[in-house]
Structure 1
Amino acid sequence: MTRIQIPRGTQDIMPGTVELWQYVEARARDLSRRYNYQEIRTPLFESTELFQRGVGETTDIVEKEMYSVSNPRSDDALTLRPEGTAGVVRAYVEHKLYGQPNQPVKVYYLGPMFRHERPQAGRYRQFVQFGVEAIGSSDPAIDAEVIALAMRFYQEMGLTGLSVELNSVGTLEDRARHREHLLAHLNGVRSELCADCQSRIDRNPLRVLDCKNEKCRTLTKDAPSILDYLSDESAAHFEAVKGYLSALNIPYTVNPRLVRGLDYYTLTAFEIKMAEIGAVETLCGGGRYNGLVAELGGEDMPGIGFALSIERLLLALAKQGVQLPVSGGIDCFVAIQTPDAKQEAFILVDELRRAGVSADLDYLDRKMKAQFKQADRLGAAYTAIIGEAELANGTVVLKEMATGEQQEVKRDQVAAVLAERLAARA
């Protein structure tokens, strides 16, 4: 019979590795708490129209990468979420979060996204994003806060060599002034650009600057910069963001070509990069989306956020040789010397677990030597031994695995003794 294998572009995260994920996720939640961002959980699938309107019909995500199916009970199509912002903004509008007394609304999400793209190192078709959104404030200080949160996350994980690339893509009015000058340049080289860029010229010319094709980048290197067409207000906002980042000693460089790949961005756009990481140099991206709430049916409220890939983070940590302080092993393995002790061992394991001690026992009727090998494989700090003598005396032999030191402990005191010893080791 043919074996069924995992779908291309996905991964099984196995015991021994999943602990790294749990550590990273716990750090993301703790950092979000410190910045006063609360968790939000939205559906894994949404109306396809949400992403068409929210992300943009001319984006690669909507044109090429979404997993969509027809809804059998209606004319609506449904799509596995390819990113998190659109769903968060939909929930913000639907649940009238703009009416809450605490403003801006600051939320974070942590969960799987889905894009049909070519798998490579650090890039999967199902991947996990950590992202934050702050909706309801135009203050450039919150732009800097969002960027700082992302940077602090990477720094606290142990990464070095990080920098921020920063740009302002202006407002709709700024881009309208820039558009005619950009079109004049792009139309001059239209025939030499790739097919995607030729298509984008007529629909969203600013996104031509986002093309990764080296020939296209060379042909557009002298294209007029959006920074030269910012209004005084937009320029002042950009200068204020840079000022706040400098005040926090967060290094940044201005990259006028940085437009990001989503249509909803306005004003601040940014990416966080790490030197010498090859194909996944960009670790994180985000920016403002001041028109998105209105586009999705809400009041015209400003917003800003970012999203980062946990897979790329773990790859970056491996590239830099960063070892996460993930503890392994259990606290206690209960070894059974005689079949008569099995039930008492089973009860003891339950008591230990209820006392907060991680514990396990043998379920394969192994000999004592094999049980000690199992305790070693499980990384047990202690082994509790129960045999005929212990049953008769109402005791347990407690062995510290690192030193080999053994102590006879009264049966009803085992949980308390272990908890005390483990607390002293912590």
Structure 2
Amino acid sequence: MVTIQAIRGMPDLLPDACNIQSQLIRAAADVVESYGFREIRLPLMEKTELFARSIGEVTDIVEKEMYSFDDRNGESMTLRPEATAGVVRAVIQHSLAHAGPQKLWLAGPMFRYERPQKGRYRQFDQFNVEAFGLAGPDIDVELIAISARLWQRLGVTDSLTLELNSLGDGAGRQRHRDALVDYLRAHADVLDADATRRLESNPLRVLDSKTPAMQPMLAAAPQLPDYWDDESRQHFETLTQRLDALGIAWTLNPRLVRGLDYYSRTVFEWTTTELGAQNAVCSGGRYDRLVEQLGGKPTPAVGFAIGVARLAALMEARGVTAQPVADVYLAALGEAAEAEAVVLAERLRDALPGVKLVVNAGGGSFKSQLKRADRSGAQYALILGESEVESATVQVKPLRVRDDQQAVAQAALAGTLRERLQASEAAA
């Protein structure tokens, strides 16, 4: 019988990888909620029209990468390839913006059909942060500050570079588009097939091309900053002045355009040189016209998305490892001790919420149980045998530091463990 395998490009996430990604998502949620953002949860599947209207009919995502199908009623459905369109749909549908500015976050899987490679899969998790109803550069600054604070918390600040650009707005953006189309037409012999196809429909995306033969030509193409209108220029200058005041380093990348049609003005990416070709860890920008484009009232908006697997890979490259399975491992030998261990463990969980306590299961000698305790990553092993049951004590054995094993009365055990674990955490 042939063994069933996971779908190509949709890999299993095994416990150690889950552990690191969960650390990341918890840290990200803590950081954004400290800035007043609230969680929103959305369906994995939406009507195909939502993504066609928001992302753009001529983007690679809509043309090549969406998982779309007709349901039993013949209506076209799509597994979400990105989160922003769904958030906008929810904001409009539930009239959230009517109550004032909305600051939202969400985390979960996205789906795109593309060639699987390291750092790019067909199912991948993102962490999204979206803000609605705020037009000024102050919220752009806040989002970038949030991301910078998260990098600091995760220990990856030195591995990331902030790239900024502005797509401009209004007449200035149209003038740049016209100049870019004229320039690309004059160099049509250099354009690859994708660039030729995008020339009329989405010329900005040509600037994002990675085709080596096109790079000299693109380096000399008309640049967006030369066409900014006064308001866009002031918005960008205020943004960068405030980033400077916060000590957040940035670099102007005039070819940074982002891959989706709905962006305007500020766009940014945090990139790294430590993950090979898939170098963007966090990407975002303003999409001030998307709410209106999808049928809502004009509402300014800005957001960013973090590639969870890429950021987790960067954390691992910087030496971040999976958290231990246990803080404390309770070993018991003998029927009376095993029965007592279950009761004792529940009392400890009541007294020490948040402490990871594993009770040995499946029996075994003390030696084998202590090996399991060591493999769990626990700071301490609790040893319960017949003599400990009779004396209402527990042997507390340090596993990570050189220290003596100590008999502790069960009544004092929770306090002893609390003190020792806090001391271990402070020392770390």
- Output the TM-score relative to the length of structure 1: 0.91
Aligned to 1:281: 279
1:311 deviation in Å?
1.3
Unaligned runs of 5+ in 1: none
- The within-5 A match list for 1:271-350 is 271-275=269-273, 277-319=275-317, 322-324=318-320, 327-350=323-346
Which of the numbers 354, 373, 376 marks the counterpart of 2:350?
Answer: 354
Task: Tell me if 1:385 matches 2:383.
Answer: yes
Contact 2:103 2:132 in 1 (8 A): yes
Task: Give me the whole-angstrom Cα distance separating, in 2, the residues matched to 1:400 and 1:325.
Answer: 21
Amino acid at match of 1:84: A
Who is 1:70 aligned against?
70
Q: Which amino acid aligns with 1:82?
A: P
Describe the superposition over 1:95-143 as per-residue Cα deviations: whole angstroms up to 9, x where unpaired: 1111114x2x111222211111122222221111122111112102222
Of the candidates 254, 257, 260, which is equivalent to residue 258 of structure 2? 260
Q: Which residue of 2 aligns with 1:83?
A: 82
State which drifts further: 218-227 or 115-124: 218-227
Residues 40-86 of structure 1: CA distance to partner in whole angstroms, max 9, x if unpaired? 211111111111111111111111111112121x3321111111111
Contact 2:329 2:373 in 1 (8 A): yes
CA RMSD across the alignment = 2.2
Q: Distance in 2 between matches of 1:40 and 1:275?
A: 32
Question: Contact between 1:170 and 1:266, CA under 8 Å: does it hold in 2?
Answer: yes
Which residue of structure 2 lines up, in the alignment, with residue 97 of structure 1?
A: 96
Number of equivalenced pairs? 421
Instruction: In structure 2, give the amino acid aligned to 1:405.
Output: D
Q: Deviations over 1:326-378 (max 9, x none)?
A: 64242333333323432222222222233334333333231222222222222
- 8 Å contact from structure 1 (residues 271, 284) kept in 2: yes
Q: Is the 8 A contact 1:352 1:358 kept in 2?
A: no
Aligned to 1:278, the other structure's residue is in SS state coil
1:245 to 223, 230, 243: 243
Tell me, in whole angstroms, the C-alpha distance in 2 between the residues paired with 1:407 and 1:247. 53
User: Does 1:408 find its partner at 2:404?
Assistant: no
State whether structure 2 residue 26 is matched by structure 1 residue 29: no
5+ residue gaps, structure 2:
none
**2:13 aligned partner:** 13
Aligned partners of 2:203, 2:314: CA distance in 1, in Å?
33
> Percent identity among equivalent residues?
44
The match for 1:2 is 2
Q: Paired residue for 1:106, among 88, 103, 108?
A: 103
Q: CA deviation at 1:157?
A: 2.0
Q: CA deviation at 1:244?
A: 2.0
CA-to-aligned-CA distance 1:255-313 (integer Å, 9 cap, x gap): 22221110001111122222454312222211111110001111011111111212111
Q: Is the 8 A contact 1:191 1:198 kept in 2?
A: no
Partners of 1:248 and 1:422 in 2: how far apart? 36
Amino acid at match of 2:30: D
TM-score (norm 2): 0.91
Superposed CA offset, 1:18-40 (max 9, x none): 22222211211121022222222
Structure 2 distance, partners of 1:346, 1:161, is 46
Question: What pairs with 1:147-166 in structure 2 (closer than 5 Å)?
Answer: 147-159=144-156, 160-166=158-164
How far 1:183 sits from its partner (Å)? 1.9
